[in-house]
Amino acid sequence: MNLEEYKGVYVFAQQVDNEISSIAYELLGKGKELAATLETEVVAVLIGYQVKGLADKLAEYGADKVIVVDDPELEVYRTEPYAHALSSVINQYKPEIVLVGATAIGRDLGPTVSARVATGLTADCTVLEIGDFPLNPIPGQEQKHNQLLMTRPAFGGNTIATIACPDNRPQMATVRPGVMQKIEPIVGAKAVVEEFNPGFTPNSRYVTIKEVVKAVSDTVDIMDAKVLVSGGRGVGSAENFKILEDLAEVLGGTVSCSRAVVDNGWKPKDLQVGQTGKTVRPQIYFAIGISGAIQHVAGMEESDIIVAINKDEDAPIFDVADYGVVGDLNKIVPQLTAALKAAMAEK
Amino acid sequence: MKIVVCIKQVPDTKGGVKFNPDGTLDRAAMLAIMNPDDKAGLEAALRLKDQYGAEVTVLTMGLPKAADVLREAIAMGADKGILVTDRVLGGADTWATSTTIAGAIRNLEYDLIITGRQAIDGDTAQVGPQIAEHLGIPVISYAQDIKVEGNKVIVQRQYDDRYHILESQMPCLITALSELNEPRYMTPGGIFDACAAEITTWGRADLKDVEDCNLGLKGSPTKIAKASDKVRKGAGEKIVPESPEDAVAYIVGKFKEKHII
């Protein structure tokens, strides 16, 4: 493998129902930064059916070029035709770096494609940078420059590891949604749009979609919320989430929850924060009746201000909270809602 | 029907994490359990066995002591256990691991392969789909329900805000979510069987159609540059107020200080 042949930072621009997922813009934001360091271009790979019209959006968020793979077989995500599409793009264009969102789609597509093109893949990265591998020179070993250094949490967030892929190309990573920053969109920006179709012939690896069942949910995406009022097991019941909803409403925020709440059936999974839920970084995060298991903390510790209310003085959530209050949430939360309402009315 | 379930012995992350000097995990120093998603996968296989009749083979790759999880699986109801262990396989990333497991599975007959979605040590979710890729069979990840109809499987595949009902030909690989089911306990008879059961042990020489350059630490495209314990930002203030009013006054005061309100 001639590593020098591989150029460019490529981003899988995930779309669902012909709507670009937020992660695609986040990856473009980071990809642009990496491309600048490497003095190369950032390319969005847009895969779907009748999706060409989305290319301008990707340009506004930083794509220099958009490769469109458009085919009826690609209308709804399935592993095989998508893996064929992305691996064919990789074989044809030879990118140096390929970034994929660590979503329920990307965590299926990424491993399949990396195995198909025989390269390494680092999962669920939270930091990406360009640097040397090994980090420090080791006598008798070549130190390679301009490598993608991929940092990820492991062991449920107990540890972090920085991984490189020095001898194979492309260097591939899946990236945790909500971690990388999008750029401010440049209105009217245009990218070079190139269509590429490797041909899709269904075989035994194409599964059949018998039904698509969408969760009935009118909730906003908690990853976009500026204020999150998050409840845990301590809230006690689905009904008692009402007091959290009232608090959220006063601050223009949204309710989210911990895994225990989902397991108890009090709230749907799309409101879950944490390792097996979503990573959030709102301006204010209330952790109410949440003990603060490491898996939960991994999903919210980047929040600007963390307020914890818990009756257990030794709850680990107090180790990450900026403002911790030991006490009964049933008494404190309604009074806090009333006080904030009054304070805001004054203004 | 023949089902192969891939399981992994993982360190219980609740007990703290230890490293070797080279940055790799010191698994020997940690308490070991069967990975939760894999256990759900095993339970799914055992339910198919109860319902349709099936031979369930559990397979693991790891140190010799990983045979413990195979015996646990047999005690739950699996029929056979295969341990893939060899010094040259150590330090493998997901590419080398999936290459190894695919090489072992090529020796077996199977209609269905079930793996857990991800292991709690690495959290990558990569090995299942990569095994399918090496074997050239379809993969359905994130399964929250599995049914068999003739030579087909019908699977509910979970996404963020929806699920798809997918139908696939067998053979097929499915990765299981722990939400799939509540795994059964070992039975006294099962534990008796497990003690008596012979665990098949395979080494490098038993792997089919794999090259040395794709195995172990040397065959892993990804390399660890650095590994460490996570440094957290640390605690801020914590108060134990006299009354709910004090608590509210404290939070409102802080919000005013920060110009939030």
**C-alpha to C-alpha distance for B13 and B160, rounded to whole angstroms:** 26
Q: Which of B104, B83, B63, B42 is nearest to B199 (CA)?
A: B83
CB of A246 within 8 A of CB of B94? Answer: no
| pLDDT value at residue B19 | 66
Looking at residue B178, its pLDDT comes to 84
- Arch. (CATH architecture) of A3-195: 3-Layer(aba) Sandwich (3.40)
pLDDT score for B14:
62
Are A121 and B126 an interchain contact pair (Cβ–Cβ within 8 Å)?
Answer: yes
On the question of pLDDT at B16 being above 80, the answer is no
pLDDT value, residue B236: 87
- Residue B131: helix, strand or coil by DSSP? helix
- List Cα–Cα distances, A105 to A79, A110, B119, in angstroms: 8, 8, 18
Q: How far is CA B251 from the centre of its chain?
A: 43
Q: What is the pLDDT of residue B120?
A: 86
Pick the CATH number of B2-214 from 3.40.50.620, 3.10.620.30, 3.40.50.10300, 2.60.120.260: 3.40.50.620
What are the C-alpha distances in Å from A213 to residues A216, B162, B164? Answer: 9, 5, 6
Q: For the beta carbon of residue B162, count every other beta carbon within 10 angstroms.
A: 16
Per-residue pLDDT at B184? 94
Tell which A residues from 257 to 276 touch B, by Cβ distance under 8 Å. 270, 275
Q: What is the pLDDT of residue A160?
A: 86
Instruction: Collect all residues of chain A within an 8 Å Cβ-Cβ radius of residue B253.
Output: none
User: CA B189 to CA B172: how far, in whole Å?
Assistant: 31
Please state the domain extents for chain B.
2-214
CB B237 within 8 A of CB A323: yes
What pLDDT shows up at residue B12? 79
Q: What is the pLDDT of residue A294?
A: 83
Q: Is the dihedral of CA A219, A223, A227, A231 positive or negative?
A: positive
Residues of A in contact with B228 (CB under 8 A): 159-161
A219 and B CB contact within 8 Å: no
Task: Give a three-class secondary structure readout of chain A.
Answer: CCHHHCCCEEEECCEECCEECHHHHHHHHHHHHHHHHHCCCEEEEEEECCCHHHHHHHHHCCCCEEEEEECHHHCCCCHHHHHHHHHHHHHHHCCCEEEEECCCCHHHHHHHHHHHCCCCEEEEECEEEEEEECCCCECCECCEEEEEEEEEEEHHHCEEEEEECCCCCCEEEEECCCCCCCCCCCCCCCCEEEECCCCCCCCCCCCEEEEEEECCCCCCCHHHCCEEEEECHHHCCCHHHHHHHHHHHHCCCEEEECHHHHHCCCCCHHHEECCCCECCCCCEEEEECCCCCHHHHCCCCCCCEEEEEECCCCCHHHHCCCEEEECCHHHHHHHHHHHHHHHHHHC
Token look-up 């009964």 returns A328
Domain A222-346 = CATH 1.20.58.100? no
Q: Convert the pLDDT of each residue in B118-153 to its tens digit.
A: 998 888 999 999 999 999 999 999 999 999 999 999
Q: Which of residues 85-114 of B touch A (CB under 8 A)?
A: 93-95, 98
Burial B52-76, CB ≥16 within 10 A → b, else e? eebbbbbbbbbeeebbbbbbbbbbb
Taking residues B204-210, what's their average pLDDT? Answer: 98
Res. B233 pLDDT band, cuts 50 70 90: low
Model pLDDT, residue B219: 97
Say which DSSP state B25 is in: B
- Which residue does chain A place closest to B229, by CA atoms? A159
**Tens digit of pLDDT per residue, chain A (347 long)?**
788 899 999 999 999 999 999 999 999 999 999 999 999 999 999 999 999 999 999 999 999 999 999 999 999 999 999 999 999 999 999 999 999 999 999 999 999 999 999 999 999 999 999 999 999 999 999 999 999 999 998 776 777 899 999 999 999 999 998 889 999 999 999 999 999 999 999 999 999 999 999 876 556 689 888 899 999 999 999 999 999 999 999 999 999 999 999 999 999 988 999 888 888 989 899 999 999 988 899 889 889 899 999 999 999 999 999 999 999 999 999 999 999 999 988 86
Write out chain B residues lying below 8 Å of A78, CB-based.
166
B12: left (phi over 0), alpha (psi -120 to 50) or beta: beta
Three-state DSSP class for residue B186: coil
Q: Residue ranges of the domains in chain A? A: 3-195, 222-346
pLDDT grade, residue B27 (50/70/90)?
Answer: low
Residue A179's pLDDT is 86
b vs e for A103-133, b when ≥16 Cβ sit within 10 Å of the residue's Cβ?
bbbbbbbbbbbbbbbebbbbbbbbebebebb
- Pair type for strands A171-175 and A208-214: unpaired
Contact A347 B261 (CB under 8 A): yes
Burial zone of B176 (CB within 10 Å; 0-12 exposed, 13-18 middle, 19+ buried): buried
CB B57 within 8 A of CB B4: yes
Pairing of strands B152-158, B139-149: antiparallel
Distance CA A121, CA B223 (A): 10
Q: Same CATH fold, A222-346 and A3-195? A: yes
Residue numbers of A between 154 and 193 with CB closer than 8 Å to B: 154-168
Residue (of A203, A18, A199) closest to A92 by Cα position: A199
Contacts of B19 in chain A (CB under 8 A): 159
Q: List the single best residue of B120, B123, B154 to mutate versus A (max A Cβ within 10 A).
A: B123
Give residue B25's pLDDT band: very low, low, confident or very high (50, 70, 90): low
Note which residues in 31-60 of chain B have CB less than 8 A from chain A.
none
pLDDT reported for residue A217: 59
CB B129 within 8 A of CB A111: yes
Task: Tell which of B210, B239, B248 to mutate to test the A interface (max A CBs under 10 Å).
Answer: B248
Dist CA B55 CA B3 (whole Å): 6
C-alpha neighbours within 13 Å on the C-beta side of residue A106: 28
